Structure 1
Amino acid sequence: MMREERRARFGPSLMPGGNPAAWPHLKDIFQKIAAKSNGEPCCDWVGNAGSGHFVKMVHNGIEYGDMQLIAEAYHLLSKGVELNHDQMAEVLDDWNKGELESFLIEITANILKYRDEKGEPIVPKIRDSAGQKGTGKWTCFAALEYGLPVTLIGEAVFARCLSALKDERVLASKKLPRPQISPDSVIADKREFIKQISKALYASKIVSYAQGFMLLAEASKQLKWDLNFGAIALMWRGGCIIRSRFLGEIKRAFDNNKNLSNLLLDDFFTKAISEAQDSWRVVIGAAVRLGIPVPAFSSALAFYDGYTSEVVPANLLQAQRDYFGAHTYELLAQPGQWVHTNWTGTGGRVTSNAYNA
């Protein structure tokens, strides 16, 4: 169940799992108290055993990613475009009228508008050390266990870990060199750059959800849960932190193709990424030049570039592993056949094949 203050009045998102024999007895109760999206309850049967808990965990991992992406957009608007808090709030209000419409964008705009008893923005006064309850970490643990590159959520978790090193960061900021370059020399057209940030945010968000659903798919496959990904997207349309317009497109994608292997391969998301890609690269390039950390934006783009590369340098990794550890490798011309090269002329034919994590 999703917890959120206002859900006590409007209903939560519910993700029930366990013994399927129990669902007919609970369905009416759960769906009546659940949040509604376009009249449909944000609650449906998830699957056997701990599937409901797992789906809720991945939801929270995606939430970590969404929050980090918005934080990075805020950092770019503040330090790159040099907007004040009222101006940033106006930008996010505008974003919330389009493809980025979501609960988190809405509340971020409200947060930026808020003033304390002195009439001053409160965000700059908050200690920049983020807490975490653990569900983001658990999502990363699961991704490692299943061998899936859920990189954006991982970077979101590590960004919080880095934020916690407040005292060290203060010291490092005074001792270590940083880029000495004016934002005006990097960002020629600030209005255009704001649009590019929104596109980079949207593209990165697509990658984050694609990775989250990859993890759900692998767990479903290995544990025989037979998860309904379209229904899960509907459950997240209301009563939860990541509720957004975006989830309607995810539901449509999986309703159209139950066996969709990756959201990026759906026509809608392929087109969206194509339209955002140039802006995505411009924004990350500018952030690097200005020394503005964007680990979630950049990890999303790195995943995209790797996922769309027919050949990656893992062939060199395999050669290195074989050189120092005789771990063997496959040849492109002979898949499934593992060979070893005696790289030094003294290693012989002994190979290491005891385990493969």
Structure 2
Amino acid sequence: MTQSNIAMIGLGVMGKSLALNLVDHGFNVTGFDISDKHKQTALDDAKVLTPKGDKGRLITVDSLVELLGSLAKPRVIALSVPAGEIVDNVVQDLLNAGLSSEDIVIDTGNSLWTDTEAREQRYQGQLRFFSTAVSGGEVGARFGPALMASGNRDAWNYIEPMWHAIAAKVDEQGLPVGPFDQGEPCAAYLGPAGAGHYVKMVHNGIEYADMQLICEAYHFMSDILGMSAQEIGGTFSDWNKGVLNSYLMEISADILQTPDPVTGKPFVEVVLDKAGQKGTGLWTAVNSLQEGAPAPTIAQAVFARAQSGQKAVRVKASTVLKTQSVKDNNVDKQQTLDELRDALYCAKLAVYAQGFDLMNSTSEKEAWQLDFAQIAKIWRAGCIIRAAFLQEITSAYQAQSQLENLLFSQHFVQEVEKRTLGWRKTVANSALTGVPMPGISSALGYFDALRCDVLPANLLQAQRDYFGSHTYSRVDEAEDRKFHMSWSEEPRSQKEV
């Protein structure tokens, strides 16, 4: 009997899709799931595959002992299970079933990166623990995801052909191509254990913010310009043909132009305005605070989801809280839309700048030496935040690998300069009319703070010294010299501490 190249434990939405993708590309896969229904669905779907070339085969087994016996050595087992304790439970079950030190176990779930680091240490000498963060959702996993791998380098060398085969591909211009076409794979080894899951975490933080920015543009167009969902969707479709081309823009246009099959109303208008979240955006926001690497728009996107969940409070507030606002009935619609498009572009770029700055801070701290051009490359197709301007981000880091901030790239300096007035007018219009734009306005605040050579933190530090004797540095002395003012004494005097 032909042995399998890889096993997939967990045949839910993502696990099944990855397994079938592997089969499509000629690999033999053993599947295992505690749900007989999941196993049967995977087998049924495998029977109708019609890929180009020779396909592999999928079998399912009823035990982990049987699973290990079906695999060629070194055995490769991918886990598609929920993050957390269940990962360790499955690994322990595999060890009990006879896993050896040369075997490779790959966590493909959304694990917290520090958990991945801990697992690599915990299982050293018992197995080769590896991780591959997967982006692209069900469709991406099935037909070509972005794969962010990290861990044991020898393990990567062994599984690289499989991961390159199933990953999304781009052509020489950085444009996505079909799953069986020739192209550069959106899969890469990013570094030691934890690096891949960390990069995916930041990817998801950027995703949170990008989605929020698009939603704010929709809200602005609906409330300020009085546009219908259908009309907004058409505008998004037009924007998707230019610099704002992205997967999220594409699906937003489709959603807005889709009628509800039950009522015939615009589908978006029958969806309850309470957004869920699984935590990766929160992890990114918390990490940015811990690292002191400002990512205010990512954090604001998390807050926006939390505030959306306070539906009852918001309904009450809409009748209780009064405000003065400006309504301009003579607004130039096309000019305002052009300004909004520019604001969306600039805010989106600021979000990427925040995300790459955060990755840079952690990369230096962890000594990962992340390759940001490579990261931008693998995000060009397959993943949720894939966008046309990721090619420009790739070029920016290829030209200057130690770029201090993405916004410092000469290309983006020029692009933002010609769009900032539209960005400012959009934020001003939202404030004057009372239509919230927390993401787009926070991105503008980040941009303006970044370009401000003197911030009011001088007063803030003086306040800290006043009430807590926290000391301060002087602009006319070396920064490492610390001073304290005798605030409670007259005449006041300064002493070095």
TM-score normalised by structure 2 residue count: 0.69
Counterpart Cα distance in 2 of 1:106 and 1:37: 18
Decide which structure has greater helix share: 1
Give CA-to-partner distance per residue, 1:137-183, whole Å, 9 cap, x none: 00011111111111000000000011111000000100110345434
Decide which structure has greater strand share: 2
Residue 302 of structure 1 is matched in structure 2 by 445
Residue 259 of structure 2 is matched in structure 1 by 115
Counterpart Cα distance in 2 of 1:252 and 1:318: 39
Residue 144 of structure 1 is matched in structure 2 by 289
> Relative to structure 1, is the Cα distance of residues 350 and 133 closer, same or farther in structure 2, using a 3 angstrom cutoff?
farther
Give CA-to-partner distance per residue, 1:244-267, whole Å, 9 cap, x none: 101111100000001001011000
C-alpha deviation, 1:116, in angstroms: 1.4
Please identify the structure whose Cα radius of gyration is greater.
2
SS in 1 for 2:485: coil
Q: Is the 8 A contact 1:326 1:351 kept in 2?
A: no
C-alpha deviation, 1:227, in angstroms: 0.4
Report the identity percentage: 43
Kindly report the root-mean-square deviation, in angstroms, between the aligned alpha carbons of the 2 structures: 1.7
Q: Would you say 1:213 and 2:336 are equivalent positions?
A: no
Aligned residue among 426, 438, 452 for 1:283: 426
C-alpha deviation, 1:3, in angstroms: 4.2
Residue 404 of structure 2 is matched in structure 1 by 261
Aligned residue among 143, 158, 171 for 2:316: 171
C-alpha deviation, 1:69, in angstroms: 0.2
Counterpart Cα distance in 2 of 1:291 and 1:332: 40
Give CA-to-partner distance per residue, 1:288-320, whole Å, 9 cap, x none: 010000001110000111100010000000110
Aligned residue among 181, 194, 200 for 1:50: 194
Map 1:43-192 onto structure 2 (within 5 A).
43-117=187-261, 118-184=263-329, 188-192=331-335
Aligned residue among 386, 400, 408 for 1:243: 386
Matched residue type, 2:385: I
Aligned residue among 449, 465, 490 for 1:322: 465
Which ranges of 4 or more aligned residues in structure 1 deviate by more than 4 Å? 346-353
Counterpart Cα distance in 1 of 2:491 and 2:248: 58
Unaligned runs of 5+ in 1: none
Q: Is the 8 A contact 2:204 2:281 kept in 1?
A: yes
Give CA-to-partner distance per residue, 1:108-163, whole Å, 9 cap, x none: 00000100123210111111111000000000111111111110000000000111
Residue 67 of structure 2 is matched in structure 1 by none
Q: Would you say 1:195 and 2:338 are equivalent positions?
A: yes
C-alpha deviation, 1:352, in angstroms: 12
Unaligned runs of 5+ in 2: 1-133, 172-182
Map 1:339-354 onto structure 2 (within 5 A).
339-345=483-489
Matched residue type, 1:306: A
C-alpha deviation, 1:19, in angstroms: 1.5
Q: Would you say 1:41 and 2:174 are equivalent positions?
A: no
Q: Which has the higher contact order (CA 8 A, sep 6+)?
A: 1
SS in 1 for 2:146: coil
Residue 25 of structure 1 is matched in structure 2 by 158
Matched residue type, 1:178: T
